[in-house]
Chain A
Amino acid sequence: QVRLQESGPGLVKPSETLSLTCTVSGDSIRSFYWSWIRQPPGKGLEWIGYIYYSGRTHYSSSLKNRVAISADTSKNQFSLRLSSVTTADTAVYYCARLVDTDFYSWFDPWGQGTLVTVSS
């Protein structure tokens, strides 16, 4: 069974960089795509970006100037860095496996999510 687990600081100061790691078990990150998604409190889901183990990445147009996703195949982990954060970046951050085909894609499974609060 594939499991994903997010980890990282729950509190980040404004203007600093948010850093999270997703540890994958039960599957190798050398397959599929691996993605980050966030959800501000009481609001909807927002796709952040994804990475293929080779290093190929793709980011949301609204976040691409501040976001970087990387992968460490030796640890079977992938990571998110979001720079220059503001209170608008306060959200539950989820990692998920992305299965992508020519005509459809889906996220499954998801991690349990981790709340990151941006506050001084």
Chain B
Amino acid sequence: SSELTQDPAVSVALGQTVRITCQGDGLRSYYASWYQQKPGQAPVVVIFGKNNRPSGIPDRFSGSTSGNTASLTITGAQAEDEADYYCNSRDSSRNFLLFGGGTKLTVL
């Protein structure tokens, strides 16, 4: 498969936990990375590899993978987490890099 599938939109109440998922055959053998993009800004990586956070990314962000599904979990969502989130990985042949279609996260 040459696609990564994300839900278009997800909402979460302030302070609650939300999981954003990404499905694709390539995820069975290659981890996803996750990017946060706020309006008018470039994307910023929040998770890469098995569950690695770049410096400066709050520890409320975490990543996991099960089968062909990668997940980004925000534990205790804050208002500033409202953004678009994209997953990135390789296709099942591992030849090409892919982005998911993005998930718009609304914090209520």
Q: Footprint of B on A, CB under 8 Å? A: 35, 37, 44-47, 50, 58, 60-61, 94, 99, 101, 103-108, 110-113
The answer to whether A105 and B43 touch across the interface, beta carbons within 8 angstroms, is no
Main secondary structure of the interface of B (DSSP, over half): loop
Q: Footprint of A on B, CB under 8 Å? A: 2, 29-33, 35, 42-45, 48-50, 54, 86, 88-90, 95-102
Residues of B within 8 A of A105 (CB): 33, 48, 88, 90, 97
How distant is the Cα of A113 from the Cα of B35 in the complex, in angstroms?
15
The answer to whether A45 and B33 touch across the interface, beta carbons within 8 angstroms, is no
Main secondary structure of the interface of A (DSSP, over half): strand
Indicate which residue in A44, A61, A94, A106 contacts B48 across the interface (CB closer than 8 Å): A106
Nearest residue in B to A107 (C-beta to C-beta)?
B45
Indicate which residue in A61, A101, A107 contacts B96 across the interface (CB closer than 8 Å): A61
